[in-house]
């Protein structure tokens, strides 16, 4: 594990802040100054300002993100953040992002390698969204969503799309581009008025009201690991 990831997982700082600590010479590994490319093993002793950094256990939390909360650890504008909603020890951070006005399933963890795989489109972790839109998409619009939409950052991968009712669409994606669902529906002439992520990598929000969270079970963690395995 890279040194900055080790420090982030231990709750010392974010990876970016950990890089700053390393560059400042405040981090040592086995008594020697740490470098940005230093890899930490199970038997290595890491210290920050002379104090040993204790490894923290892995933690996995599912949050039902409410509207008006940003998916960051802190916000310069003073808006509430998802990390503030989950006062969990050891410290966990969100996997990927949901827009401030988007609600739904959000995973938070300190398992950096797993978080990276889940956020990467190569591994194909499924995300299900329910969108309320302007107008009422017809079969032509749904077919376009299923085939993939040409956006300014390239064509989207094929998605599963179905109409849930007048002005309501369900989309199942394997990608996670910025504002992707909103941009896809805008491209077919149906701007999103409300967006909710109902399922993330097989995890549902059953029993969780907006703003509530829970620890994942061991079985659910294994489910995530399965979802994050590369395709055969």
CATH number at residue 37: 3.10.290.10
Does residue 212 fall inside a structural domain? yes
Give the C-alpha separation, 187 to 5, whole Å.
Answer: 38
Does residue 150 fall inside a structural domain? yes
Does residue 179 fall inside a structural domain? yes
pLDDT tens series, the chain, 232 aa: 889 988 887 878 878 899 999 999 999 999 999 999 999 988 899 999 999 998 888 999 999 999 999 998 888 888 999 999 998 788 888 998 999 999 999 999 988 888 888 888 777 789 999 999 999 999 999 999 999 999 999 999 999 999 999 999 999 999 888 999 999 999 999 999 999 999 999 999 999 999 999 999 999 999 999 888 776 6
Give the C-alpha separation, 189 to 138, whole Å.
Answer: 11
Give the C-alpha separation, 46 to 29, whole Å.
Answer: 5
Question: What tokens were used for 189?
Answer: 């002439």
Listed in sequence order, the residues at least 6 apart from 55 whose beta carbon sits closer than 8 Å to its beta carbon are 6, 9, 10
For residues 142 and 195, membership in a common domain is answered with: yes
Residue 99 bears catalytic tag: yes
Q: Is the dihedral of CA 193, 122, 81, 212 positive or negative?
A: positive
How far, in Å, are 8, 29, 107, 180 from residue 127 at the CA level?
A: 26, 39, 12, 12
For residues 26 and 83, membership in a common domain is answered with: no
For the stretch 123-140, pLDDT in tens is 778 999 999 999 999 999
For residues 138 and 192, membership in a common domain is answered with: yes
For residues 29 and 144, membership in a common domain is answered with: no
Does residue 159 fall inside a structural domain? yes
For residues 176 and 213, membership in a common domain is answered with: no
Question: What tokens were used for 144?
Answer: 């376009």
Enclosing domain of residue 95: 60-121+202-227
SS3 (DSSP) at 125: coil
DSSP state of 123: G
Does residue 105 fall inside a structural domain? yes
Q: Is the dihedral of CA 210, 84, 90, 39 positive or negative?
A: positive
Catalytic residue, chosen from 19, 75, 99, 206, is 99
SS3 (DSSP) at 46: strand
For the stretch 140-182, pLDDT in tens is 999 999 999 999 999 999 999 999 999 999 999 998 889 999 9
In CATH, what number is assigned to the domain containing residue 113?
3.30.70.580
For residues 32 and 97, membership in a common domain is answered with: no
For residues 137 and 188, membership in a common domain is answered with: yes
Number of domains in the chain: 3
From the list 91, 9, 17, the residue with the least C-alpha distance to 55 is 9
Q: Phi first, then psi: what are they for 19, rounded to 5°?
A: -60, -40
Does residue 232 fall inside a structural domain? no
């Amino acid at each position: 594990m890279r040194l900055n990831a080790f420090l982030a997982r231990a709750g010392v700082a974010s990876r970016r802040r950990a890089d700053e600590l390393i560059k400042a010479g405040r981090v040592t590994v086995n008594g020697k100054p740490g470098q940005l490319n230093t890899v930490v093993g199970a038997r290595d002793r890491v210290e920050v300002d002379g104090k040993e950094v204790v490894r923290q256990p892995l933690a996995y939390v599912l949050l039902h993100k409410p509207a008006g909360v940003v998916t960051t650890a802190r916000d310069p504008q003073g808006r509430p953040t998802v990390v503030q909603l989950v006062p969990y020890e050891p410290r966990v951070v969100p996997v990927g992002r949901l827009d401030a006005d988007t609600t739904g399933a959000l995973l938070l963890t300190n398992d950096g390698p797993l978080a990276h795989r889940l956020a990467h489109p190569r591994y194909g972790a499924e995300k299900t969204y329910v969108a309320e839109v302007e107008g009422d998409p017809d079969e032509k619009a749904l077919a376009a969503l299923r085939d993939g939409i040409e956006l300014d950052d390239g064509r989207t991968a094929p998605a599963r799309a179905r109409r849930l009712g007048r002005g309501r669409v369900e989309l199942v994606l394997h990608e996670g581009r910025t504002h992707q669902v909103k941009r896809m529906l805008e491209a077919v002439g149906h701007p999103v008025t409300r967006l909710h992520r109902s399922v993330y990598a097989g995890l549902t929000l059953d029993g969780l009201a907006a703003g509530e969270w829970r620890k994942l079970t061991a079985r659910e963690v294994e489910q995530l690991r399965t979802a994050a395995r590369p395709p055969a």
